[in-house]
Structure 1
Amino acid sequence: MNYPVNEVFETIQGEGTHTGVPAIFVRLQGCPVGCAWCDTKQTWEVLDENKVSAEQVIQVDGTIGRWADHTPQSLIHAFEQKGFTAKHVVITGGEPCLYDLIPLTLALHRLGFSSQIETSGTFEIQCADAAWVTVSPKINMKGGLKVLEQALNRANEIKHPVATEHHVEELDRLLEGIDCSNKTICLQPISQKSRATALAMRVCIERNWRLSIQTHKYLDID
């Protein structure tokens, strides 16, 4: 199985349940969701002219949209070659669930890594049972894709950006009929604005949900 990889780097997970955990990020190329505020738009298209060699996407800046084919084995070899020490691997994008992630997540788990998938929930999630799935549902985006019930049911964590009451209400509508008893629900203030943060804090306290702050932005790290 080949995956189009935009970049691979080691850092600290900055948001959600795994905040503060050292992590290797594997960013995959390709995303048709069309979020207006996306900060990785360079990952949207998989263009032949931007294909590079496998080593050119490891521990480099992926902002120009380069990508390379990697297998699970070549990725794990790259981790070893770079001397990465983190044992948690975050598979992100782009939209990683465009691809069958079962081979990659199984290979990681066999070697003692944990895995986390960050997805919009607009594609069926295919991954190992032990993978931690974070769905950040993208509702009414330009790409016209709907958040799938399968993705919401598979999610271990649902992390929703909020700025106004409307965003809380749209999450409530989305989760109608979904069993959330064993899921972590996180609200994440959009752009760290004070009103959004106050709203997220209030709702999290009322519902016993979790506040997710993008700590990597405060720490000025990737």
Structure 2
Amino acid sequence: MTYKINEIFETLQGEGSFTGQPSVFIRLQGCPVGCSWCDTKHTWEVNSDLRIPISDLLAQKEETEDWAELTVQEISDLFRAQKFKAKHVVITGGEPCMYDLIPLCSRLESEGFSTQIETSGTYEVKTTENCWVTVSPKVNMKGGYKILPQAMARANELKHPVATEQHIDDLKLLLNDFSVQDKQVYLQPISQKQRATELAIKSCIENDWRLSVQVHKYIGIE
């Protein structure tokens, strides 16, 4: 099993339940969902001409469409070589659930890491029992993908980007359709816009949801 990797870096988790948690992020390449507000559009395409060695990828200081392909063993070796301090790993993208994540999460957990996946809910979630799954359900996106019942059922938390009342209505329909009342719900204002933030705060108070404000963007870290 190999994984196409766009980035591996250590930082703080800035969203959802693990906000403030020191984390190693594994950003995987490839996503056909097509969110208009996506802030990682450089991960959408897998161009075979842009495959590079992991050493070159780690040396890059800017966002790029380049990617490296690593096995689980190579990822494990890389973690040791980089001497990461964080013991929490966030697997994101792109759309990480395009991949079978069971081998990777199993290995990381066996080595003492906790794992988390951030997914759009449009692909089946294949991971370990202990992995924390954050579903950020992407409704009516350009790619035309539907939210899967399996992904919603597996979610530990829901993190819903919002900018308009329509986004709130979409979320309420999802919560009703998939019977996920037992899951923690976060609203995340799109692009830190004042109007979106005010809407999110209002909706959180009205519905007993929580606010996720992308702390990493406010404090200026990756």
Normalising to structure 1: TM-score of the pair? 0.95
- Distance in 1, matches of 2:72 and 2:59, equals 17
Alignment root-mean-square deviation, CA: 1.3
Is 1:157 equivalent to 2:157 in the alignment?
yes
The residue aligned with 2:18 is 18
Per-residue CA deviations over 1:161-185 (Å, capped at 9, x if unaligned) read 1122211111111122423243110
What is the distance in 1 between the residues matched to 2:147 and 2:216?
Answer: 27
- The one-letter amino acid of 1:9's match is F
Q: 1:138-174: CA deviations, max 9, x gaps?
A: 1111111111111111110100011222111111111
Q: Which residue of 1 aligns with 2:71?
A: 71
Paired AA for residue 114 in structure 1: S
Once the two structures are TM-superposed, the CA of residue 45 in structure 1 deviates from its matched residue by 1.2
User: Contact 2:5–2:26 at 8 Å: present in 1 too?
Assistant: yes
Shift of 1:55: 2.5
Counterparts of 1:97 and 1:60 in 2: how far apart (Å)?
25
**Larger helix proportion of the pair:** 2
5+ residue gaps in structure 1?
Answer: none
Choose 54-63 or 179-188, whichever is displaced more.
54-63
How far 1:59 moved relative to its partner? 6.1
- Aligned amino acid, residue 14 of structure 2: G
Aligned residue in 2 for 1:146: 146
Shift of residue 195, structure 1, vs aligned partner: 2.3
TM-score norm. by structure 2 comes to 0.95
Greater CA drift, 107-116 or 49-58: 49-58
Q: Unmatched 5+ residue regions in structure 2?
A: none
Tell me, yes or no, if the aligned pair for 1:6 and 1:62 is still in contact at 8 Å.
no
How far 1:201 moved relative to its partner? 1.4
Deviation of residue 62 (structure 1)?
6.0
- CA distance in 2 between counterparts of 1:181 and 1:81 reads 42
Tell me the matched-pair count.
Answer: 222
- Equivalent AA in structure 2 for residue 95 of structure 1: E
Equivalent position of 1:206 in the other structure: 206
1:104 corresponding residue in structure 2: 104
- Dislocated runs of 4+, deviation >4 Å: none
